[in-house]
Amino acid sequence: MSTHDAISPFMLERYAVGELEGAELAAVEAALAADPQLAARVASMRQAREQFLADEPYAAFRIEHERRRTPAKQRLAFWLPTGFAAAAAAALLLLFVVPELDTERVKGSGVGLTVALVGAGAPKPLASGARVHPGDRLQLAYDAGDYGYLALIGIDGSGVMSVYYPEGGDVMARRSGESRGAFPFSLTLDATPGSETMVAVFAEQPLPLKRIEEAVRKNEVLPGVSAVRVVLDKE
């Protein structure tokens, strides 16, 4: 068996995202040095992966959000499948090494809201008070703690309030799956001057969205409800 034959596509994919170490890493690097075609294949895999993540900011954001919540000792570098036609379906299962995201939290509630600027490269985390600009695209993720229902409210600089999530319906959305996740859309900031406020609201029961909007506007604390605000300074 040649060195080339001993290197599986699976190992190459792991190498391309920097997961290999020790004997496996040495074996792949030796094979690449001896086989220009294999080296070109790895370069093509990396290029395709980078292009996919550049074209799919939601996938990149979910990858980073999942990276943030995974303990370091359990963290793995995930890879894109060899067939990139299947990449979109698999993207939310992939991880790669990126910086941690900042999460705004309500002390003692277990809930949180993460906001990041997406575009070229890895998503950039934004804390409350960060400066943003018209045309910037944002991705948001949540930590719902033990709450079963959630909503996302936006307030622009003119005071106009919008329900970003759920889209449609009259009541809060039921949380599906794990307590942490990303909202399934991105937001592009318009030219309205002033601050942009994002409010993630978590509740024990599916409250009417009109009641949630009223409470957010009045900064009212409702029984069985927690809310997290991130305020961005738009120039």
pLDDT of residue 225: 94
In a domain, residue 99? The reply is no
Residues 69 and 19 in one domain: yes
Positive or negative, the CA dihedral 82, 75, 55, 228 is positive
Residues 36 and 69 in one domain: yes
- Rounded-to-integer distance, Cα 95 and Cα 145, Å: 22
- Rounded-to-integer distance, Cα 144 and Cα 200, Å: 9
Q: What is the pTM of this model?
A: 0.58
Residues 82 and 120 in one domain: no
Domain boundary among 69, 93, 117: 93
In a domain, residue 185? The reply is yes
pLDDT of residue 4: 43
pLDDT of residue 119: 78
Residues 22 and 128 in one domain: no
Amino acid in position 58: Y
Residues 59 and 82 in one domain: yes
Residues 157 and 55 in one domain: no
Domain boundary among 93, 116, 151: 93
In a domain, residue 98? The reply is no
Amino acid in position 70: T
pLDDT in tens, the chain (235 residues): 333 445 777 677 778 877 788 888 888 898 889 888 888 888 888 877 776 666 655 555 555 555 554 443 333 333 333 333 333 333 333 322 223 344 455 444 578 999 999 876 778 888 889 999 999 989 888 999 999 999 999 999 999 999 999 988 899 999 877 888 888 888 889 888 899 999 999 999 999 999 999 999 998 989 999 999 999 999 8
Residues 21 and 53 in one domain: yes
pLDDT of residue 63: 56
- Rounded-to-integer distance, Cα 185 and Cα 139, Å: 7
In a domain, residue 51? The reply is yes
In a domain, residue 134? The reply is yes
Residues 78 and 121 in one domain: no
**Residue indicated by tokens 């496996």:** 24
Of 119, 127, 165, 139, nearest to 61 by C-alpha is: 139
What's the CATH number where 136 sits? 2.60.40
pLDDT of residue 198: 93
Q: What is the radius of gyration, based on Cα positions, of the chain?
A: 21
Number of domains in the chain: 2
Whole-Å CA distances, 143 to 71, 74, 95, 183, 231: 16, 20, 19, 11, 18
**What is the domain range of residue 64?**
3-93
Residues 85 and 131 in one domain: no
Residues 150 and 219 in one domain: yes
pLDDT of residue 164: 92
In a domain, residue 124? The reply is yes
Residues 190 and 213 in one domain: yes
- Rounded-to-integer distance, Cα 109 and Cα 79, Å: 34
Residues 212 and 134 in one domain: yes
In a domain, residue 111? The reply is yes
Count other Cβ atoms within 10 Å, centred on residue 9.
Answer: 12
Tokens matching residue 113: 């809201």
Cis peptide before 166 (omega within 30 of 0): yes
